[in-house]
Amino acid sequence: MHLIIKRIIFNPKKTKMTMTKKMISWLALVAVFLVSYSCRNDMLPEKEIFENSSQFQLTSRRMSLAESKHRLKLMPEISEAQTLLRSSQYNVSGKTVNAGSGVTINTNDVIYIENGPNYHTYTFSIVRENAPIDAPVENLVLTPLPDGTYKGLLFRYNFTQQEKQNIMDGIPMDTKGKTTITEAGTNITLSKVQECSYVEETIWQDCSQHIHNQSNISDWVNCTAEIKPQVYTIGYWSCSSGGGGGNEGGSGNTGSDDGTGGGNAGNDNCITEVFQNPLDPVAVYNPCPIGVPTSPNIPNLSNPCEKTKNMLKDPKVQLAIDDITKQAKKAALDINEGEIGRIEKNGMFYPADVSEDHHVIFNNIAGAKGAYHNHTYKGAKIHSPKDIFSILSFAHVQPTVANYGDAYIGMIGAEKCYPDVSGCFRMFHYIIRFGGITADLSKNFTEDEMKKFNKDYRDREHELAETLPYVNFLGDITLNKKGYEKLFFETLHNMGLSGKVILQRVDDDGTVNNINLDANGIPEAIPCPQL
């Protein structure tokens, strides 16, 4: 049911963020109270929003929708946006085509940004089936409104292939001049008055120790601050003249007291700011730019797809898979048949050091790229908690950070067809890859925690077996593929690894699929583009 390997742990050092507080002079306090009561009531909320930019520091992290405390509010917004996207048209190589069902909003890997306790955004990548290699990066950004709902903005980035790769490798980039912003469900960037539009600006934020910033990007990898240096894209509503509310447009200077800097609005006193409370961008007037923060969320689909498709072309890989498949079929027919495993080192495959009824053991994974094993008659036909835990170790022994995604663990399971036909099997072929960052590899669990994960895994498997659409029919005792995939993602969530592990499925016809969760938390297969 799982792999057992020697666990390798490392713990990057963290330091506490230090914060400074501005002193308010007595004279300034007196001056505030000299303002009339009515004016104070009219203006105070606006000043709290627009003048406290140095009080908070933007923070961001990657998560899955399942981890979000706003999940129930976000789900209808995502569903509506996906419906609009699927009914829209877009340009491919100069031709206008209907999006149809070939567009998906990825909810497994979401960028969550906070600016203080009262404001946040969610950035989702938009995946278009069979998109050309030079297609723009498309993101859905959800920003909260005062009524508790969210406004959806579509950010489209015209990046080169190298720029896309740089961003995926963690190299910061200025998106100014490469970005267009529209509201979800529209194909225009200008308001009806034609003097207003969404404009983008780039702001650079120092680390919380104020050591790393825009001037030393190449050294960001050595930053030990609790809040790392960041670069953000800010989208704001800008009116050049008349036309109602909005920010004054402009760009240029960077820098501010709190280490967050951006473009000015035509004078040196203006710095791009970020909302601190839920607001509609088009309903805000401020002399200086203020708006919605995001970061480009590039769907990391092409690399895992290409890695797996190329891997499966290797004759040595196919020989290992053939061995594992034969054992999986034996185990489907005979409860006494156990697991076997194959580990890949330096392009060659070697048997597991120990093969037992429900696990295999690899004593030394140094220099290993990945491994395959089968699950048995009683085992779930998808990766177990220990399999998931093991992918962290395989990623850790890769030669460089850039090779983390090369690590893989394959699992093959088989079940007899229903009704029973001699020689007929339902096959389950899954591959997991590491999709996180270096800090994620320090994740560790106690023996008791792993026992609980395994128990929850088995209990949940039985619960899902009583629910459509996770079985082929009520009364079926085993999950179907959607059921096993649901079990996998719930297990990832329980282990705190949502968005850190990529799940792929290889169908009987050889099609490789990336498996994601849709807006309703249902597993959805996205076929990899054909070579």
Q: Model confidence over 293-346: pLDDT tens digits?
A: 999 998 654 468 878 988 999 999 999 999 999 999 999 999 999 999 999 999
Nearest to 435 by CA among 475, 391, 371, 370: 391
**Domain closes at, from 294, 315, 338:** 294
Residue 44 lies in a domain: no
| Phi/psi of residue 221, nearest 5 degrees | -65, -20
The residues, any chain, with a CB within 8 Å of residue 486's CB and separated by 6 or more, are 464, 470, 522, 523
State the pLDDT at residue 4.
57
Residue 320 lies in a domain: yes
Residues 345 and 491 in one domain: yes
**Domain closes at, from 254, 269, 294:** 294
Q: Give the span between the Cα atoms of 484 and 445, in whole angstroms.
A: 23
Average confidence (pLDDT) over 148-166: 91
Model pLDDT for residues 15-41, shown as the tens digit of each residue = 333 333 333 343 333 333 333 323 323
Residues 347 and 421 in one domain: yes
Beta bridge partners of 190: 197
Counting the structural domains of the chain, the total is 2
Residues 276 and 342 in one domain: no
From residue 106, alpha-carbon distances to 128, 138, 298, 311 in Å are 10, 11, 10, 25
Would you call 423 helix, strand, or coil by DSSP? coil
Average confidence (pLDDT) over 273-281: 94
Residue 50 lies in a domain: no
Q: Which residue range forms the structural domain that includes residue 82?
A: 56-294
Residues 93 and 131 in one domain: yes
Nearest to 326 by CA among 427, 202, 257, 234: 427
Average confidence (pLDDT) over 201-221: 89
**Domain closes at, from 249, 267, 294:** 294
Instruction: Point out the least confidently predicted range of 51-60, 107-116, 152-161.
Output: 51-60
Residues 414 and 522 in one domain: yes
Q: Give the span between the Cα atoms of 320 and 457, in whole angstroms.
A: 28
Model pLDDT for residues 62-71, shown as the tens digit of each residue = 888 878 999 9
Q: Across the chain, what does the average pLDDT equal?
A: 81
Residue 18 lies in a domain: no
Residues 348 and 495 in one domain: yes
Instruction: Point out the least confidently predicted range of 238-242, 288-292, 442-446.
Output: 238-242
Give pairs for 317-323: CB < 8 Å, separation 24+.
317/344, 317/349, 319/349, 320/344, 320/349, 320/372, 321/372, 321/410, 321/412, 321/429
Residues 432 and 323 in one domain: yes
Residue 373 has a CB neighbour count (10 Å cut-off) of 27
Token code pair at residue 204: 């650079």
Beta bridge partners of 432: 409, 503
Residue 20 lies in a domain: no
Q: Give the span between the Cα atoms of 486 and 465, in whole angstroms.
A: 11
| Phi/psi of residue 454, nearest 5 degrees | -65, -40
Residues 306 and 208 in one domain: no
Residue 48 lies in a domain: no
Residues 286 and 335 in one domain: no
Q: pTM for this structure?
A: 0.55
Residues 250 and 374 in one domain: no
Residue 3 lies in a domain: no
Residues 463 and 483 in one domain: yes
Residues 341 and 290 in one domain: no
By residue count, the chain amounts to: 531
Q: In one letter, which amino acid is 478? A: T
Token code pair at residue 467: 């629910």
Beta bridge partners of 269: none
DSSP assignment, residue 123?
E
Residue 187 lies in a domain: yes
